[in-house]
């Protein structure tokens, strides 16, 4: 608004200066400039500026790239209080002990690496909003959800409630189901991945650390069987159930159910165990380098992208549903979360159907 006022004032002064010159000439016997002439001059200058701002029409491909680029940046540009209010509007479930929210894409649980917005930063204000702005209100994280993940996130209103939920998760009594779009079609279409995971250092031009597989078996030298190997001391047990819900040429929608909760477990099992990385997983699409995910031509064509722009694709991994066991005779608590818009748009572009009942 301030910029608009300054611009209008400048235009008026320019028109006034021109009018003053004309009036000086008018005093010498020539016709002066009237108010209507000043208005016409201002209108002409506004139209000229509008014409200068017009850009060459963008192609559908560029529009798609801009859409994805803007999406990946928008949540880090808002004020934390705005994010807290958005989280409040997206509450999925609430009772006297817990709150379930819809975690947005690209918002980490904790503030790291100079990131402005995080879930933890918003918790004090979110607690006040949900508790009628009462002083002393608190909310506590009950489990982890990666920065790039979306979907159900459970918060507790007391430390005791948070510890209770965490105990249920550690004892494998909480059912968690994710939906993911993956590159490839797993064979078999349903199964259990039971391969431990360990953090490894990746050497090369860009040294970095990633979670990797630490198998308990290896193929025999004759190639006709497998033999058990000694488990690595630092490896963590990791078990994932998966089921293909629908697939087209080169891509699939899968339901993932982690039995354990190792860091990056679903991404590692999909990319390294099934060789079907999650769409938008630029970390595990390549093992020995850090680079945008490389996609087949058919998928690129359906997504309306070129390979050089795949870095803007968000991770298509969504926490769809969490089921908490009921307490003292109460029924189970089931919390479901709708898919984000970018996820449903991808399903449409890939012509993948979302089952009515998952």
Per-domain boundaries in the chain: 74-171, 174-218+232-353
- At 206 the pLDDT is 81
Tokens matching residue 216: 């308990």
Say what the pLDDT of residue 50 is.
60
Same fold, 74-171 and 174-218+232-353: yes
pLDDT of 15 reads 46
Residue 23 to residue 29: CA distance in whole angstroms:
10
15-24, 77-86, 278-287, 292-301: least confidently modelled range? 15-24
CATH architecture of the domain with residue range 74-171: 2-Layer Sandwich (3.30)
Per-residue pLDDT tens digits for 49-72 = 665 555 445 566 677 667 766 665
Average pLDDT over residues 205-212: 88
**pLDDT of 30 strictly over 50:** no
| Per-residue CA distances from 243 to 185, 196, 221, 302 (Å) | 11, 20, 32, 23
The yes-or-no verdict on residue 343 having pLDDT over 90 is yes
pLDDT-derived band at 287, boundaries 50, 70, 90: confident
pLDDT band per the 50, 70, 90 thresholds, residue 18: very low
Percent of the chain exceeding pLDDT 70 equals 76
Tens digit of pLDDT for each residue in 160-170? Answer: 999 999 999 99
Query: Comparing 227 with 8, which gets the higher pLDDT?
Result: 227
Highest mean pLDDT among 16-20, 259-263, 287-291: 259-263
pLDDT at 265 over 70: yes
Q: Taking a C-beta distance cutoff of 8 angstroms, is the pair 247, 298 a contact?
A: no
CA nearest neighbour of 179 among 5, 17, 338, 2: 338
Over the stretch 77-94, which tens digit does the pLDDT of each residue have? 778 888 899 999 999 999
- Could you read off the pLDDT of 218-248 as tens digits, one per residue? 766 666 666 677 778 889 999 999 999 999 9
Q: Single out the residue of 148, 170, 139, 104 nearest to residue 278, CA to CA.
A: 148
Query: Which CATH fold would you assign to the domain 174-218+232-353?
Result: Pseudouridine synthase (3.30.2350)
């Amino acid at each position: 608004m301030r910029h608009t006022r300054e611009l209008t004032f400048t235009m008026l002064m320019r028109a006034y200066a021109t009018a003053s010159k004309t009036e000086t000439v008018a005093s010498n016997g020539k016709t002066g400039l009237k108010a209507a002439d000043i208005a016409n001059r201002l209108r002409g200058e506004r139209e000229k500026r509008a014409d200068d701002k017009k850009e060459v029409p963008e192609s559908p491909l560029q529009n798609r790239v801009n859409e994805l680029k803007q999406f990946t940046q928008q949540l880090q540009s808002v004020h934390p209080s705005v994010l807290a209010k958005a989280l409040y509007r997206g509450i999925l479930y609430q009772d006297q002990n817990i709150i379930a929210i819809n975690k947005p894409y690209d918002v980490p649980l904790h503030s790291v690496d100079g990131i402005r917005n995080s879930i933890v930063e918003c918790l004090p204000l979110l607690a006040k909003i949900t508790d009628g702005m009462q002083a002393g209100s608190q909310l506590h994280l009950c489990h982890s959800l990666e920065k790039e993940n979306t979907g159900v996130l459970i918060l507790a209103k007391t430390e005791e409630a948070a510890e209770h939920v965490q105990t249920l998760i550690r004892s494998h009594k909480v059912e968690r189901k994710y939906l993911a779009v993956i590159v490839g079609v797993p064979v078999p279409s349903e199964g259990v991945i039971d391969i431990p995971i360990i953090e490894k250092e990746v050497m090369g031009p860009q040294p970095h650390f990633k979670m990797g597989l630490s198998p308990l078996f290896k193929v025999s030298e004759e190639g006709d069987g497998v033999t058990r190997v000694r488990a690595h001391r630092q490896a963590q047990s990791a078990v994932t159930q998966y089921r293909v819900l629908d697939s087209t040429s080169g891509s699939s929608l899968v339901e993932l159910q982690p039995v354990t909760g190792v860091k990056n477990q679903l991404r590692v099992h999909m990319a390294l165990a099934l060789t079907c990385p999650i769409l938008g997983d630029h970390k595990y699409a390549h093992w020995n380098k850090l680079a945008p995910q490389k996609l087949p031509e058919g998928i690129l064509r359906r997504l309306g992208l070129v390979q050089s722009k795949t870095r803007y694709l968000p991770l298509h991994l969504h926490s769809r549903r969490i089921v908490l066991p009921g307490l003292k005779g109460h029924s189970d608590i089931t919390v479901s979360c709708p898919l984000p818009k970018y996820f449903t748009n991808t399903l449409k572009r890939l012509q993948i159907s979302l089952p009515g009942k998952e």
